[in-house]
């Protein structure tokens, strides 16, 4: 075990931060953090030397490292972003927490619930923040819909269905994305984790008791459904489509659909439909538009009523960064509530879905 860093974990700005990972997600975090007056990004790590230099120069980051281990050992920081392939989340986050650093990690928390449990245990032992970037719940339309639900306009939500469906969007065939060992699975754990998160968030975080799921791999193994890789021997041992029926407490249910590829309308689509005792609602986002179509359905003394609401665009990773920084700067009393437990619960649900698909049986979700 690494010794705890002797750097003081401060409760005042600016927060000294490092970013590990310079792919799309890492760049989103770097942009969001660099724009904040209460943060100083002082270290950046990535294996692509040219890109590393470009990003560091653009954002004025002085310390640059190829290896994440060197960043953790050398950089004088209070917190770190982990935005790397999923199988590296646990080892990097745990190493950072053991050094007394706060951690903001990309989704999913890890490739399995077992690995996620180790991360949460490390956060609790260190007494530090472990936050997972669920940026889609920070969309403006989802936040507006959450307000409708919280005001009681829909009554008790007894059923919901949520989806993220791509027409042809298998990411980087043959890369870590399409290998179970490194990714944990296909679209269910990659983009389905967002769908699961915002659906349960909208429903008020009901406990999931059991999962019935089915997965398919109809395109990836044939080299179809994404950008051609040119390879003929690449590994694709995950699903490219998954569906799950989740049983919830208090006789409620949630259906999830997620795909990287499938014969459907050209525009990719994200959405959620809520069925409540006093009303319903549906949000449909086509083609990754910043604002989707949000409708609320009610009966007002007889006639059917449909209301369309228009939200402002959300702030995504910027909002995630804001919450993380505010939590860290709030001091030790605030930290225990942000130990990664919510993301761990999501990981347990995903694990149950994959086990259900493997066994063709309903699987109980561990608490």
158-212 residue pLDDT tens: 999 999 999 999 998 888 999 999 999 999 999 999 999 999 999 999 999 999 9
CATH of domain 140-313+349-364: 3.30.360.10
Residues spanned by CATH 3.30.360.10 within the chain?
Answer: 140-313+349-364
pLDDT of residue 229: 59
DSSP state of 222: G
Which portions of the chain are predicted below pLDDT 70? Answer: 1-12, 228-233, 300-303
* pLDDT tens digit sequence for 5-36: 444 455 667 999 999 999 999 999 999 999 99
CA dihedral 103, 104, 107, 111 (to 10 degrees): -10
335: CB partners within 8 A, 6+ apart: 102, 127, 128, 129, 327, 328
Residue count of the chain: 367
DSSP string, 82-140: E-S-GGGHHHHHHHHHHTT-EEEEESSS-SSHHHHHHHHHHHHHHT--EEEE-GGGGSH
Rounded Cα distance between 324 and 314, Å, is 17
Closest CA to 209 of 336, 73, 367: 367
CA atoms within 13 A on the CB side of 213: 30
Residues spanned by CATH 3.40.50.720 within the chain?
Answer: 15-135+317-332
CA torsion sign for 177, 203, 320, 74 is negative
CA torsion sign for 220, 223, 227, 230 is positive
From residue 341, how far is each of 129, 314, 367 by CA, in Å? 11, 24, 11
215: CB partners within 8 A, 6+ apart: 186, 188, 239, 241, 242, 354, 357
For residues 188 and 238, the answer to whether their CB atoms sit within 8 Å is no
pLDDT of residue 234: 80
CA dihedral 256, 250, 110, 227 (to 10 degrees): 10
pLDDT of residue 302: 55
Closest CA to 287 of 137, 135, 167: 167
CATH of domain 15-135+317-332: 3.40.50.720
Greatest alpha-carbon pair distance for the chain in Å reads 68
- Residue 359's H or E segment, with its range, is helix 341-359
Closest CA to 171 of 220, 215, 226: 226
């Amino acid at each position: 075990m690494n010794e705890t860093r002797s750097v003081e974990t401060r409760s005042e700005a600016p927060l000294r931060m490092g970013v590990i990972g310079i792919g799309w997600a890492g760049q989103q975090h770097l942009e969001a953090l660099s724009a904040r007056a209460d943060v100083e990004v002082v270290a950046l790590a990535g294996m692509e030397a040219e890109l590393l230099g470009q990003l560091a120069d653009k954002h004025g980051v002085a310390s640059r490292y190829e290896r994440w281990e060197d960043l953790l050992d050398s950089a004088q920081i209070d917190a770190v972003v982990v935005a790397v392939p999923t199988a590296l989340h646990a080892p990097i986050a745990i190493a950072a927490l053991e050094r007394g650093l706060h951690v903001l990690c990309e989704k999913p928390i890890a490739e399995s619930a077992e690995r996620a449990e180790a991360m949460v245990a490390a956060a609790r032992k260190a007494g530090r923040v472990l936050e997972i970037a669920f940026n889609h719940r920070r969309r403006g339309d989802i936040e507006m819909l959450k307000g409708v639900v919280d005001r009681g306009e829909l009554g008790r939500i007894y059923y919901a269905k949520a989806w993220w469906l791509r027409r042809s969007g298998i990411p980087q065939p043959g890369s870590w994305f399409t290998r179970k060992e490194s990714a944990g699975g296909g679209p269910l754990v990659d983009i389905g984790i967002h769908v699961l998160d915002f659906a349960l968030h909208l429903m008020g975080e009901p406990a999931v008791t059991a999962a019935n799921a089915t997965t398919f791999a109809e395109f990836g193994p044939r080299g179809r459904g994404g950008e051609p890789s040119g390879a003929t021997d690449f590994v694709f041992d995950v699903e490219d489509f998954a569906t799950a029926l989740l049983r919830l407490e208090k006789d409620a249910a949630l259906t999830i659909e997620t795909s990287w590829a499938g014969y459907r309308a050209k525009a990719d689509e994200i959405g959620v439909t809520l069925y409540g005792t006093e009303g319903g609602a549906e949000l449909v986002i086509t083609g990754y538009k910043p604002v989707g179509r949000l409708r609320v359905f009610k009966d007002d003394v007889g006639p059917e009523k449909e209301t369309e609401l228009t939200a402002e665009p959300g702030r995504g990773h910027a909002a995630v960064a804001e919450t993380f920084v505010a939590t860290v700067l709030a001091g030790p009393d605030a930290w225990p509530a942000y130990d990664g437990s919510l993301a761990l619960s999501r990981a347990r649900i995903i694990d149950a879905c994959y086990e259900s698909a493997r066994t063709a049986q309903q699987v109980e979700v561990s608490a």
